Structure formats: C-alpha cells, structure tokens
Amino acid sequence: MSSLLQCPVCREPLLATPSGYQCVALHSFDAARQGYVNLVLSHNKHSKEPGDDPEMVLSRRRFLDLGYYNPISDGINEAVASVLAEMERTSECSVLDAGCGEGFYLARLKKALAQGSAPQLAMEYHGVDVSKFAVRFATQRDRSLGWFVASINDLPYLDDSLDIVLNIFSPANTPEFARILKEDGSLVFVSPGPRHLNGLREIIYPVTREHAAPAITEKAEAFFAPAAVSRLTYPLSLKSHEEIMDLLAMTPYYWNIDRETKAKVVALDRLQLDVDVEIRVFRKKCG
C-alpha cells in the first residue's frame, strides 16, 4: 500500500524508515519504544499534555475490558462491514479511527473483519489520538496497527488517501475528515443517543433532559451525504463502586459536577442505566 501519511511540517508524503517515518525534506519522526509515532509538532500543542490524562485512559480501559460496551463495538463493526461491502474494494482498504482513545474499538474491528466477510482485502488500520497516554495504551491492544499521536484538527494524512474514517465519542472535524477521505470514502460517526447513561444522569441532574441530536448532521452537510443511521439501546447493570467510578471518569460529568454530586455517585455500589448509542454513516460528496 502506498504511503497515506503526510509530513506535519511540509505536507509531503511520509515514508517508513527503520526507525519511524521521514519525508523528502528529511523531517523525521522516530517511533517510541512502545511502537507509536508522535506527529504533533511541539509549537502546535495547545497544552502540555493535550487530550485524556492517564487516569481517564486507565478508567476507560478497565471499563471497556469488562465487555459492557462490546455490543457498541459489534454495531460499529457491522456498520463498517456494510460500508466495505458497498464500496466493493477488491484488494486494499484503509481505516482511520480519529480520536481512538486506548484502541478498544479499532482492535476489535480488526479482529472482526479478519474473521469476516472480506478475507481477500489487505486492510490497513490507523488510530490517532491527541493524548499520548491513550495511544501508548492502544499499542498494548495490538502493536501491529498504525498508532499515532496527532490532532483531528491537523490529521497527518494526505488528501484523498483513506477509505473509512471512524469517529467514536470524540471531537469531530468534518472538513478535515473530508479532506483525507477518498472520493467515495465514508465517515462512521458514533455518538450518545437521547437516553444514553440515563440512570447516572438522573443522579447528577435534578431534571434529566435527553441528549440533543449531534451537531454532525448539520456540520457534515457541506462535505458528506447521510447514508445510514442505526440506534442501539440496552440496559446495563453496574455491580460495584469501581465499575461506577470508571464509567464516571469516562464521561464529561466527571469534570463538570460539584463535590456534593460526586459524593452521591461515590456512595453507590450498584447502578442500573441505559446504553443508547447512534451510529451514522456519511458518504463523502463528490467534487
């Protein structure tokens, strides 16, 4: 497969070297010993350690490893398999998880597709997150995937280079996703549905409002046409204080709630809640 990556300094293609990547202008980026490559230029960093911190990443990893979100991952894998079937690629296909966190969804996607419908396809998987802690953990899920520290606002990919971009519970930049996708490429966008985490939200907010529809549909309009939408809902029972705290640390509520409200959640050792997730597929508009 030809290079997909773009040098963040001069925008020329980045080619693999024995120690990492380099462009024709000799800008070089070494792989860390864990197997990922940091492509964020230090003058573009808006904070010292952008993105999720180690505590949040560890909570997410522990929680996701309990398997409670496997149905979400399975739903994403089905959506990607349908996109692949429609694209009718015969030899190669590239997938980027933009805002991949600690790699749970991308690693499971690779396993599912390896057992599934298109064994003849040479798949290339990349995961990008601005948190180097998250990416470091992602390499532990599957070192054979391409893991990069980079921002969704300046993705280190060439124009029209990727077949599929995934964006799962993460910040989105639709013009940037459109730039890096091929003409017939697809964006798979995953966001909380109206009742996601009700049960927890009822404890946190005096009046629980439904999650608003994601702004993506409007934001994507200039670049993408909606192709499919599915909703996945199921009940979840958390069985310990640790599980509840790990879930809380994965949500924005962890940072937004006051001490008194946090104390109410800390006191729980059982919690019934709803999982409600929407998976949208958008196809890049031609021209």
Q: CB–CB of 104/146 below 8 Å? A: no
In total, the chain counts a number of residues equal to: 287
Q: Rule CB under 6 A: is residue 99 a binding residue for ligand SAM?
A: yes
Q: Among all residues, whose Cβ is closest to Zn ion?
A: 7
Q: Restricting to residues 46-85, which ones interact with ligand SAM according to CB under 6 A? A: 51-52, 60
Task: Tell me which of Zn ion, ligand SAM, none is bound by residue 100, counting a contact when its beta carbon lies within the kind-specific cut-off of 5 to 8 angstroms.
Answer: ligand SAM
Q: Restricting to residues 172-231, which ones interact with ligand SAM according to CB under 6 A? A: none
Task: Tell me which of ligand SAM, Zn ion, none is bound by residue 23, counting a contact when its beta carbon lies within the kind-specific cut-off of 5 to 8 angstroms.
Answer: Zn ion
DSSP character at residue 211: P
Q: Rule CB under 6 A: is residue 278 a binding residue for ligand SAM?
A: no
| CA angle in degrees (0–180, nearest 5) for 7-8-10 | 65
How far, in Å, CA of 104 to CA of 101, rounded?
8
With CB under 6 A as the contact rule, the residue among 5, 79, 80, 129 that binds ligand SAM is 129
Q: CB–CB of 162/139 below 8 Å? A: no
Q: Rule CB under 5 A: is residue 27 a binding residue for Zn ion?
A: yes
Q: Rule CB under 5 A: is residue 225 a binding residue for Zn ion?
A: no
With CB under 6 A as the contact rule, the residue among 101, 146, 185, 193 that binds ligand SAM is 101
Q: How many CB atoms lie within 10 A of CB 280?
A: 22
φ, ψ for residue 209, nearest 5 deg: -95, 155
Task: Tell me which of Zn ion, ligand SAM, none is bound by residue 125, counting a contact when its beta carbon lies within the kind-specific cut-off of 5 to 8 angstroms.
Answer: none
Identify the three-state secondary structure at position 134: helix
With CB under 6 A as the contact rule, the residue among 59, 73, 77, 131 that binds ligand SAM is 131
Q: Determine the residue type at 156.
A: P
Of 110-118, 162-170, 209-217, 261-269, which segment contacts ligand SAM by CB under 6 A?
Answer: 162-170
Identify the three-state secondary structure at position 270: coil
Q: Rule CB under 6 A: is residue 148 a binding residue for ligand SAM?
A: no
